[in-house]
Chains A and B, each alone.
Chain A
Amino acid sequence: AQSVTQLGSHVSVSEGALVLLRCNYSSSVPPYLFWYVQYPNQGLQLLLKYTSAATLVKGINGFEAEFKKSETSFHLTKPSAHMSDAAEYFCAVSDGQAGTALIFGKGTTLSVSS
């Protein structure tokens, strides 16, 4: 079965600092990987997705993620944090055996201080 692990349930950065949110996956087949963001009291919004076309994936709001097969990682980064980036971030892998069912990590809450 596929799974994802998000390292760090809470990450705090200063405004303008680098954001790095870690995600490692476990999959016996080439994975389809996603990052979603959830703002307080809202649903989830797709930030970016990896579909094997390119290892460096650019998403919305200045975020990007790099797929590293050797490290089984798909870490999310943003060069300069903004206050509006404060939210909860979820890494997810598509379980091919269940259609497009997503297996989510437990989430990382990002706090941004001024």
Chain B
Amino acid sequence: NAGVTQTPKFQVLKTGQSMTLQCAQDMNHEYMSWYRQDPGMGLRLIHYSVGAGITDQGEVPNGYNVSRSTTEDFPLRLLSAAPSQTSVYFCASSSLGQGYYNEQFFGPGTRLTVL
């Protein structure tokens, strides 16, 4: 199993550009989520999904869109990038079989810089 994969690893954007961060998992997990990590801030939840066709907002959703058309994929879209979105983005997935204490598996991250 590849686990959770993210592409690209690095990306530089100009203010106002749009892009999609890709996330895929091959563990048949129902739950997927996106976090951003900033120095001294820990990880903050952006959006999450409990299954195909179901998404919801986390702590810091503004400026980001998500969709979940398949169990495997959970892309994160930046419609108009801003310098404040410079961060490292992590995708994570877990099963929902045991409720709230399942281990979340994290991808390797995407380092995004917005100029």
Contacts and interface: CB of A to CB of B under 8 A. Distances in A.
A57 to B, nearest CB: 11
Q: How large is the interface on A (under 10, 10 to 19, 20 to 34, 35 or more residues)?
A: 20 to 34
A98 B58 contact: yes
A5 to B, nearest CB: 11
Interface string B40-78: 111111001010000010110000000000000000000
B42 A100 contact: no
A35 to B, nearest CB: 12
Q: How large is the interface on B (under 10, 10 to 19, 20 to 34, 35 or more residues)?
A: 20 to 34
B35 to A, nearest CB: 8
B54 to A, nearest CB: 10
A49 B42 contact: no
A100 B43 contact: no
Nearest to B94: A100
A96 B101 CA distance: 9
Given A42-B108, A96-B100, A107 B42 contact: yes
9 contacts: A9-B40, A43-B90, A43-B106, A45-B106, A46-B104, A90-B43, A100-B33, A100-B102, A103-B45
